[in-house]
Structure 1
Amino acid sequence: MTYLVIKALHLVAIMLFVGGMLVLALALKAYQKDSLGPDMRQQIIRWDRFATSPALGLVWVLGISLAVMGDWFPDTWLHLKFAIVLLLSGLHGTLSGRLKSEKPPSPTSRLPGLALTGLLASVPVIIFLATLKPWL
């Protein structure tokens, strides 16, 4: 029962984190094009501080708890999953920092588009690894 509760909370935290990352990437794209109002930017920064960032912390804590319960630390699939989540964590910090910056990213910056692509490509890979736990 405890495992299932932790797993459910982990999934909720993942949904909040991924949703927040999508909002950050799209907001950064709008900020880049100077079409994000200052009030909306502040609301998104606030959402990131009080929802997305704590969700990321929960993703890590609950994910590590599940890995301990499942005794999966020697498994290669988990190492790959951790590496991808670590990259997404760094991407979150980059997006968050750029949105908080008073100066919008250069109009030629590819960061917002690459962030969206990276996020949308990473999530299915993580789901595949966590669900199938393949022998790699």
Structure 2
Amino acid sequence: MNQHIEHASVQKEACRALNRLTYHNNENRIKIPREGGIQAIIDTMKQNISHADVQEQAYQALYNLACNDENKITIASAGGIHVIIRTMKKHISHAGIQKYACKTLRNLSYNNDENRITISDEGGIQAIIDTMKKHMSHID
């Protein structure tokens, strides 16, 4: 991922692969962060902020990784909460991004008071409310 950070299509597929590898797989949720996977995902999100398809795949991977308590801390320490909220604002009309952003924030805040405070301080509550207002008609 780090070698092709400027190639959105490569980043999208890399995030998709990490998403699949972490889906209901606790072992990979531990291995991937050790290899720098969380930082790579966050760097990808920063570099490709305008690419909705990259963002959606990155969110899905972070959502799975945030099921692990240690990963919640790693994601927050790497600036992940700030990036999540920033991309939520950038892609307010994209239902898929908003869905996984909210799910990721939910996982990051579960049993983690520090992340709850950071989410609030970074404007996450307002971003979630804005999402609710914008996507009132979406059932999913």
> Which of the two has higher C-alpha Rg?
1
TM range (shorter): 0.3 to 0.5
Give me the TM-score of the superposition, normalised by structure 1. 0.34
Give me the TM-score of the superposition, normalised by structure 2. 0.34
Q: Bigger relative contact order, structure 1 or 2, given CA contacts below 8 A and separation 6+?
A: 1
